[in-house]
Amino acid sequence: ICPTQAFPAPYRLDARRCISYLTIEHKGPIPREFRAAMGNRIYGCDDCLAVCPWNKFAQTAAEAKLSARDDLRAPRLGELLVLDDAAFRALFSGSPVKRIGRDRFVRNVLIAAGNSGEAGLAAPCRNLLEDASPLVRGAAIWALSRLMKFGDFAKLVEERQRHEADAAVTEEWRMAVAERSVA
């Protein structure tokens, strides 16, 4: 059931492949090999918990504090892509999501946007190429490489790639161009 094959053998978990680890604990760029498999997950996964036989004994919690807030159920990616730090902190106040910080959260939203196939998300993703965080800029490149038409993306590469000073973000440009050239 695991989208990233984080269980290489029975009773063995490779946490480095786990979407919950990647979206919550991992501080760097999401490895390219797992991005498509993440789908629309932006904070955790728990598919393994859904199929775990031990969880047949679990009961739904009655504690209201453990229920998801209505304003955080199925948020729109476009709204999440425009969060600055203050808006992120306000939206996720009192939520465990707040602990990963705005940059990692937006990184995750960008991966989901790139997987969405929604061309309308390209505009907010493009705006994030100006973000102060290299982590966010790199994820924006990947998302745009999946959302934009080939010719439009090629023009964007010409405009933007040479202006990037961060080595990791420059590598994202290089890899995106290489992947688009093969596709």
**DSSP code per residue over the chain:** --TT---SBTTB--GGG-HHIIIII--SPPPHHHHHHHTT-SS---HHHHH-GGGGG------GGGSPPGGGSS--HHHHTT--HHHHHHHTTTSGGGGGHHHHHHHHHHHHHHHH--GGGHHHHHHGGG-S-HHHHHHHHHHHHHHS-HHHHHHHHHHHGGG---HHHHHHHHHHHHHHHH-
Q: What is the pLDDT of residue 65?
A: 63
Q: What is the pLDDT of residue 180?
A: 84
Model pLDDT for residues 5-25, shown as the tens digit of each residue: 999 999 899 999 999 999 999
Model pLDDT for residues 97-117, shown as the tens digit of each residue: 999 999 999 999 999 999 999
In the predicted model, what is the mean pLDDT of the chain? 92
